[in-house]
Amino acid sequence: MAYRTSPADLEGMPPGVPHIIGNEAAERFSFYGMKAVLAVFMANYLHYMDDRVGTAMSSAEATENVHIFNAFVYLTPFLGAFLSDILLGKYRTIILLSIVYCAGHAALALMGTSGSSAWWMFAGLGLIALGSGGIKPCVSAHVGDQFGSKNAHLLPRIFNWFYFSINIGAAVSMVLTPWLLEWYGPHWAFGVPGVLMAIATVVFWMGRHRFIHVPPAGLRFFKEMFAEGGILVLLKLVPLYLFVAVFWALFDQTGSTWIFQAQDMDREFLGHNWLPSQIQSINSVFVLTFIPIFTYVIYPLVGRVWKLTPLRKIGLGLFVMAGSFALVALVQQWIDGGQRPNIGWQVMAYALLTAAEIMVSIVALEFAYTQAPKTMKSLVMCFYLGAVSVGNFLVAGINHYIQIPSAAQEQLDQAIEGLPADWRDSPRSVALAGHDGLTGTDDDFMAQLEEGTLVELELPKSAAFDTLLRRLRDLTADGEPLPTPEDFAEEIGESAGEDPWGNPIRYELLNSRTARLISDGPDGESNTRWDIGYRVSIPEPAPPEEESWADALHPDEPWLERRKRELGVGEESAEAAEDDSPLEEETFVGGQSKMHGAPYFRFFTWLMLGTAIAFIPFALVYRPRTYLQD
């Protein structure tokens, strides 16, 4: 059946608009809901999904994977634009990639049913990145295609609806999906967004006879791309894209490092105990609140004394973003000192971050659009999204660099490589060579395996480590918190003792519930895969019971606790506990991070501040040239 290829002579709203708005609201719910729980799922849930307990991801590794996913989400718009503008047209591209999108959600929902859950996860994320990113440059352009000369004045209204639907869908999903993960597990948490994406696809398909289907340009696309000095315009905007990339490197960490920080905070706020992933929803609420405030109050007031050009707004926003991360770094410093600050401090940081988003993200997108020739509007939007991708690749690269591999895990992988599968079916003890590469020497490690999985690692015997562990157990036996480094130093005297190789043992407090005893290990160097020690933690106390109507909506205990009981995790340690100390102990050989805690957030604060300062000369020398549609 032939579709209409040009707008009808209408003065009112085009008939296909409700389908586009409904599609966008459901699609954004599915995307932000899945993304809201991704970091927590990787670090806390993934290794419990299969029949055999796997190795947990560190927060740095989970952060790296989340930002690689984000990077590809904002890189695939180039593919979507080329498919749409050259081969298929917008409607067919959106339908095709929406099906791919749904397949990605299905893959996530199937984790734990068969095969490796990690492979299901990465396959699902790859399909979602292709589908979600691919339709990005098509949907908003498809909206514009529906309007003709008589109803073009309604475009601002429809884009306001568009933006409102995005933020409402995001806010609701970022509250609901973490709740589903907490109580009903990953299948529901990833399955419900998948159902919403399927609904979004069906709603969009139902509007096929009401839409205007603008045909693809074919090879004419390349001719237009080089018209009007388009390449020079792109080169001129490259510095702006780089500044924006650093902004997004910080902004998108609200879905990774900010969540991990929230886990170590008192999350009672406005009379409710929030899950760590739910705090992100405050950004969408702030966006809907701040936009009219900035548009009708702040911008006009400042404009009376200082002309606010787009570049000046962006520059101010970059400095505000630095302030947001400076506040987060301060909060993390309190956490590193053993305190448990209230989540309200992070809400304040979200307020600054949202203000920066309004001044940088919205303004930079509009500014880049006005600077692009008429034939290159879509391509310039793709390059803007590409800047978001660059920022996320930056965060992923930094988190990859700061990870220190575990020498014990490396040795274990080498020891069991090539052995028959039935070898792993019964408990095993494996001697692992130490730093000298030889077994049978004083620096060997002993690995205890259950079904091929490392359950306990025995370090070389050390009287000093044993003494310090006993002292920590005594100090926490009556429900006391972990001591600060200063208090612990007073308890143990002048020296904390030495490891078997003569290196001093350090006591480091990571947060109010976690500390570690660590030494430089057999190689005598800090921050290497041979650093050894014990990570000790006090279980997080259960939040106070709240009687509310929502109690009947979830089981009596969280899904993760039920899953651990099914797998028998923690039973041995509970049976072996012979004292009153709540301390949980875990040995490690490497596997830590080169940069963590407050120094990590301070690094990005200084990076953002330097970027904001460097933006000033760019804004002074840039000469804007505006291209608008006729």
Same domain? 197 vs 243: no
Same domain? 242 vs 351: yes
Measured CA distances, 317 to 344, 375, 380, 596 (Å): 22, 30, 21, 26
Task: Write the CATH number for 182.
Answer: 1.20.1250.20
Same domain? 34 vs 151: yes
Same domain? 484 vs 604: no
Average of pLDDT values for 481-492? 89
Same domain? 301 vs 359: yes
Measured CA distances, 368 to 79, 360, 505 (Å): 20, 11, 55
Question: What secondary structure does DSSP assign to 79-91, as a single string?
Answer: HHHHIIIIII-HH
pLDDT tens digits along 508-530: 999 989 999 999 999 999 999 99
Which has the minimum average pLDDT: 3-7, 177-181, 388-392?
3-7
Average of pLDDT values for 225-234? 65
Average of pLDDT values for 86-107? 89
Q: Is residue 344 part of a domain?
A: yes
Same domain? 286 vs 388: yes
Domain count, the chain: 3
Name the residue among 62, 122, 41, 39 with its Cα closest to residue 593. 62
Average of pLDDT values for 148-169? 72
Residues 172-191 as b/e (b if ≥16 CB within 10 A, e otherwise) read bbbbbbbbbbbbbbbbbbbb
Q: Is residue 213 part of a domain?
A: yes
Same domain? 255 vs 154: no
Same domain? 584 vs 599: no
Q: Which two tokens stand for residue 382?
A: 């793709």
The band of 149, judged by pLDDT with boundaries at 50, 70 and 90, is low
Between CA 238 and CA 235 the distance in angstroms is: 5
The band of 629, judged by pLDDT with boundaries at 50, 70 and 90, is very low
- The residue segments making up the domain with residue 353 are 237-403+595-630
The band of 552, judged by pLDDT with boundaries at 50, 70 and 90, is low
Q: What pLDDT is stored for residue 410 in this prediction?
A: 85
Given a contact cutoff of 8 angstroms between Cβ atoms, the answer to whether 338 and 512 are in contact is: yes
Q: Is residue 553 part of a domain?
A: no
pLDDT tens digits along 328-369: 999 999 999 999 999 999 999 999 999 999 999 888 877 776
Percent of the chain with pLDDT over 90: 49
Q: What pLDDT is stored for residue 550 in this prediction?
A: 58
